[in-house]
Amino acid sequence: MRGDRVTAFPIAAAFAGTVMGAGFASGQELMQFFVVYASRGYWGLALAAALTSAAGILIMFRARRGGAEAAPRRAARLMNGAMALFLFGLLVVMTAGGEELLHLGWDAPPLLGGLLTAGLTAVTVAGGMERILKSFRVVVPVMMSAAAAAGIAVLIWGEWDAIPVHPSGWGSWTGSWLTASLLYVSYNMLAATAVLSPLGVAARGPRDVAAGAALGGGGLGLLALILCTAIARRFGLAEHHPLPMVALSHEVHPLLGHIYAVALFISIYTTAVGCLTGFMDRIGADRSTNSRMMVFAVCALALLGSRIGFARLVSRVYPISGIAGAVVFIAMAADSARQAVRRLIGRARESSRSLTPSARSNRAPGSPSAWD
């Protein structure tokens, strides 16, 4: 992929498309991680947007230096194991989100929604990821525009509800807005790593990496702000619905509800593809026929796990995945800092050698010194 010379916009689109899955676009995870903390949740949202961009830059710069995997040597086993386990958990959540969406939006049997989500994901990953990265350029702007339009419509025409701070049974896994924000970033970046690492290698240059991560993270943060504010205004309705933004959009107008549901399904699909691709990479699967069969087997297991229910999975899998993601990214950050210190020490030693008397005496006559 290095020859593709990927620019900032495709990076931003792939970034947003991977993170903006069922939990984000439906409003369920935004409600559980930010809205329930009232005004303090907005501080958490701002922190999450900044850290999401920073984590994306870290992942892609590590990939540019060390290849698409870019895993710290000492933390490689921990990273691969944790990511494989929780990428599968996130795949289960996406499958459950597809079930809920088709059931609530079009009154389809829940199993049909799960089969459609898992089947499309398996077919795509078995055929390769290249076409999905290209499609992100089109589908991600559509997803984000539809979500933003629905959120603004709810803000304009929705009613005002009181926002209970920490409703009964909520927030027990996150504890505070700060912890919720950190966990939110951690588990989202687990899924994004599978897509961002090869993009970091293929990027045209460091500026495109930084700009793409900033644009993707900033766009997601702005969209999250709109959706959180919309959910907060109609919290009385949103808290009782597994797909809050679908319910709020449908309340404004049924057509808007259906449009939002389509955009939500696209976001579920793109994130599920990223999760499954990352899972297969972490377990060392190749492009052989046996690996393709394994793709379908993994999706079948995800379909089975989705029977737990979307809202329950979001409240359990996401925080646990966040803890695992935090361990992974702390290890990555520590390893990056250690390598940076080693490079600085190495440069300092080279500079000191060039200034020693012996080095100067060994110069050829007329050759420039380090001070020239």
Q: What is the CATH number of the domain that holds 326?
A: 1.20.1740.10
pTM above 0.95, yes or no: no
- In b/e form, how buried is each residue of 11-24, taking b as 16+ CB within 10 angstroms? bbbbbbbbbbbbbb
143 found inside a domain: yes
How far apart CA 91 and CA 349 sit, in angstroms, is 49
Name residues of the chain where pLDDT drops below 50.
1-3, 68-72, 165-169, 172, 367-372
Q: How many domains does the chain have?
A: 1
Q: What is the pLDDT of residues 196-216, one digit of tens each?
A: 888 888 888 899 999 999 999
352 found inside a domain: no
Query: What pLDDT was estimated at residue 213?
Result: 93
367 found inside a domain: no
Query: What pLDDT was estimated at residue 329?
Result: 73
Query: What pLDDT was estimated at residue 69?
Result: 46
Query: What pLDDT was estimated at residue 173?
Result: 60
Distances (CA, A) of 108 to 24, 104, 114, 190: 22, 8, 10, 31
313 and 187 Cβ atoms separated by less than 8 Å: no
H or E stretch at 70: none
Query: What pLDDT was estimated at residue 196?
Result: 85
SS3 69: coil
Query: What pLDDT was estimated at residue 23?
Result: 75
Domain that holds residue 259: 2-347
Query: What pLDDT was estimated at residue 131?
Result: 66
Query: What pLDDT was estimated at residue 236?
Result: 84
365 found inside a domain: no
Query: What pLDDT was estimated at residue 369?
Result: 46
Query: What pLDDT was estimated at residue 217?
Result: 92
263 found inside a domain: yes
23 and 101 Cβ atoms separated by less than 8 Å: no
Query: What pLDDT was estimated at residue 87?
Result: 84
